[in-house]
Amino acid sequence: MFNRLPFQPKVKKVKWQSEFRISDRLVESYQRGNIFLAGDAAHIHSPVGGRGMNLGIEDAATLAWLIATRTAGRYTAMRHPIARSVLRMTGVQTSLLTSKSAALRSIVSRIVPLLTGLPVIGSKVLEQFSGLNVPFPPWLEKD
């Protein structure tokens, strides 16, 4: 998991450099009057787990359906808990992956794969990563 290069590369010239910082933020409300927020405007978090883009698409699709059914006032109540859950999950994952603790890195690289190999735990982790733990969109429900 934490592979190191077998040699130490030598940098001759840096053409461009920037810092990457992770922010975890979530708005209190996705709506104020006729103004709605979705995606990165409503929540931002670590890219770990790859849920960010899909979460934003889900926000937009949910909002479109709510507007079409004239129930847009339910938007925050429907989407806020899902984003909060994703932020919590990505925060834990990011902390584990960026820890400076050798013991914790050892646990992450050795024990976590063993645990996720167990069907019960592995299926729960897969549900989290894939977003299958999110309530099924009402507009796709079968009658």
Q: List pLDDT tens digits, range 50-82.
A: 888 889 999 999 999 999 999 999 999 999 999
Q: Which residue reads 């729960």 in tokens?
A: 124
Is the C-alpha dihedral spanning 72, 74, 76, 81 positive or negative?
negative
Structural domain for 102, as ranges = 25-134
Q: Identify the CATH number of the domain in which residue 86 sits.
A: 3.50.50.60
pLDDT of the residue at 143? 59
Query: Does pLDDT of 37 surpass 60?
Result: yes
Judge whether 92 lies within some domain.
Answer: yes
Judge whether 11 lies within some domain.
Answer: no
Judge whether 10 lies within some domain.
Answer: no
Judge whether 61 lies within some domain.
Answer: yes
Task: Give the tens place of pLDDT for each residue, 105-132.
Answer: 888 888 878 888 888 888 887 787 777 7
Query: Does pLDDT of 3 surpass 90?
Result: no
Query: How many domains does the chain fold into?
Result: 1
Distances (CA, A) of 98 to 1, 46, 71, 94, 108: 12, 11, 41, 6, 10
d(CA 83, CA 37) in angstroms, rounded, equals 12
Distances (CA, A) of 57 to 2, 63, 113, 125, 135: 32, 10, 30, 21, 15
Percent of the chain with pLDDT over 70: 95
pLDDT of the residue at 8? 81
